[in-house]
């Protein structure tokens, strides 16, 4: 039987052995907590607290700034120290609420809503919206928007993205192994919104224990199927995941709902479950701290707003000075210049490597080998598009489907000339998207 996959892709060293067998560890931050108002795609949240206010964990501190937005909740108890701009992992200065953690960890009382079977569809969506749930796989798209397509009856599949194809990351794997009931429960809640939909738990086959566990737990549920995907990067990218599991194709101008699919990350699905069944807003997530420079790689349940430096300290700090520190994975993460920045709803990992292979590379002219074309999951020509980007030839870039790039990094990874293909294409895509938004 052919394994479910897509055309193209690569097989980088996955580095998952460093942390995959480390159970989730709860951490209690001791330093100040910082909550940026932009932790999602869309309008920034608006503060509803003031300097000097005392807050509890689970208390709303910022409300949605529009339909495509999400509220933000305190994850510890303490006093609002200030509302000011703070630096985030991307280097941007973002308006943030700063809370002095009092170390008491006092929390609001959370009350379950009515049994799921008695909730109306719009009530479930409102609960998800009020809980501040966003896509936690990296993009940060407000989940209530994703769960509100124009025609819900045309949704055929709800796909839980359990692939976790990014090297080194193991947070989703640990969540699936330790709390599979919440993942399956969350998927069932989403399925209640779409009368004609079937649920898919899409897992890469490098997690056989996870596949076996999920199959065992869903064997008597005709509404949910566990699908084993071929282990290949970027198997978890939305377009590639949809194609591998359903055979349907989307491009950059389409949404998954246009081909009858809804896709959500593991942590997002669990957050939906907790919001609906426990009444808990989104105020924590699982983060992997890993890399060969980290003393004790682990997976942590992290209160959102905790600094990366404090999180690294819990992992024992560095056993060797790193040459490269990344927020996220090595393929699509952000290089970090400062660890004194806050974790957010979209934080997935802190990766510290003793060698910076990318900085050591010396780019040379393209040798026209075609490896980037073979590896590209978007079926475009990265070498050509990068050349257009270098020469600011915007018309040719768009004409040759530059906007179809998903910025996965496969082309840069395989290029024998060490050209920064993804970086060049990404820069031009940003320019084009900014112009489109301006229009």
Backbone angles phi, psi at 432, to 5 degrees: -65, -40
| Distance in angstroms (rounded) separating the CA atoms of residues 38 and 65 | 10
> 239 lies in a domain?
yes
pLDDT digits (tens, 9 = 90+) for 241-258: 999 999 999 998 899 999
The pLDDT of residue 2: 53
Q: Is 410 annotated as a binding residue?
A: no
| Distance in angstroms (rounded) separating the CA atoms of residues 238 and 301 | 25
Residues 271 and 404 in one domain: no
The pLDDT of residue 439: 73
> 295 lies in a domain?
no
CATH number where 168 lies: 3.40.50.11540
Residues 259 and 388 in one domain: no
Residues 140 and 271 in one domain: yes
The pLDDT of residue 232: 96
- The domain in which residue 378 lies consists of 369-436
Single out the residue in 225, 247, 276 at which a domain terminates: 276
Residues 144 and 266 in one domain: yes
Residues 399 and 258 in one domain: no
Answer yes or no: are the C-beta atoms of 202 and 160 closer than 8 Å.
yes
Single out the residue in 256, 276, 296 at which a domain terminates: 276
Single out the residue in 252, 276, 300 at which a domain terminates: 276
Task: Say how many domains are in the chain.
Answer: 2
> 192 lies in a domain?
yes
Q: Is 165 annotated as a binding residue?
A: no
Residues 249 and 390 in one domain: no
Residues 247 and 118 in one domain: yes
> 309 lies in a domain?
no
The residues of the chain scoring below 50 in pLDDT are 1
The pLDDT of residue 1: 41
> 327 lies in a domain?
no
Q: Is 210 annotated as a binding residue?
A: no
Q: Is 372 annotated as a binding residue?
A: yes
| Distance in angstroms (rounded) separating the CA atoms of residues 358 and 66 | 40
Residues 124 and 272 in one domain: yes
> 223 lies in a domain?
yes
> 202 lies in a domain?
yes
Q: Is 369 annotated as a binding residue?
A: yes
Residues 268 and 151 in one domain: yes
> 120 lies in a domain?
yes
Q: Is 405 annotated as a binding residue?
A: yes
pLDDT digits (tens, 9 = 90+) for 105-130: 999 999 888 888 999 999 999 999 99
């Amino acid at each position: 039987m052919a394994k479910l996959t897509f055309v193209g892709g690569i097989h980088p060293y996955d580095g998952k052995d460093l942390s995959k067998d480390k159970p989730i560890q709860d951490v209690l931050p001791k330093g100040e907590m910082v909550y940026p108002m932009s932790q999602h795609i869309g309008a920034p949240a608006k503060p509803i607290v003031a300097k000097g206010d005392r807050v509890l964990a689970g208390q709303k501190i910022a409300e949605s700034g529009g339909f495509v937005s999400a509220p933000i909740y305190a994850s510890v108890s303490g006093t609002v120290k200030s509302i000011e701009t703070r630096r985030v992992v991307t280097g941007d200065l973002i308006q943030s609420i700063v809370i002095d953690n009092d170390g008491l960890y006092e929390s609001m009382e959370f009350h379950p809503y009515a049994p799921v079977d008695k909730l109306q569809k719009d009530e479930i969506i409102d609960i998800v919206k009020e809980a501040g749930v966003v896509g936690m796989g990296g993009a940060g798209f407000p989940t209530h928007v994703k769960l509100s397509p124009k025609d819900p009856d045309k949704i055929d599949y709800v796909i839980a993205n359990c692939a976790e194809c990014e090297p080194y990351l193991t947070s989703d794997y640990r969540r699936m192994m330790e709390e599979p009931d919440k993942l399956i429960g969350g998927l069932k809640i989403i399925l209640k919104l779409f009368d004609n939909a079937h649920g898919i738990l899409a897992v890469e086959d490098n997690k056989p224990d996870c596949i076996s566990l999920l199959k065992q737990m869903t064997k008597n549920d005709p509404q949910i199927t566990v699908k084993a995907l071929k282990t290949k990067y970027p198997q978890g990218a939305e377009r590639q995941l949809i194609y591998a599991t359903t055979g349907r194709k989307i491009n950059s101008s389409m949404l998954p709902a246009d081909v009858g699919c809804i896709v959500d990350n593991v942590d997002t699905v669990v957050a939906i479950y907790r919001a609906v069944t426990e009444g808990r807003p989104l105020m924590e997530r699982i983060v992997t701290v890993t890399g060969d420079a980290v003393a004790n790689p682990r997976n942590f349940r992290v209160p959102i707003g905790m600094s990366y430096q404090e999180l690294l300290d819990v992992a024992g700090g560095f056993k060797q000075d790193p040459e490269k520190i990344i927020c996220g994975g090595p393929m699509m993460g952000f290089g970090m210049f400062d660890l004194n920045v806050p974790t957010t709803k979209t934080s997935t990992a802190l990766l510290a490597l003793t060698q910076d292979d990318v900085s050591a590379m010396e780019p040379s002219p393209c040798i026209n080998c075609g490896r980037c074309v073979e590896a590209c999951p978007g079926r475009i020509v990265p070498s050509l598009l990068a050349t257009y980007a270098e020469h600011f030839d915007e018309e040719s870039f768009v004409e040759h489907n530059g906007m179809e790039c998903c910025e996965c990094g496969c082309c840069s990874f395989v290029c024998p000339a060490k050209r920064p293909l993804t970086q060049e294409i990404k820069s031009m895509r940003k320019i084009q998207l900014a112009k489109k938004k301006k229009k």
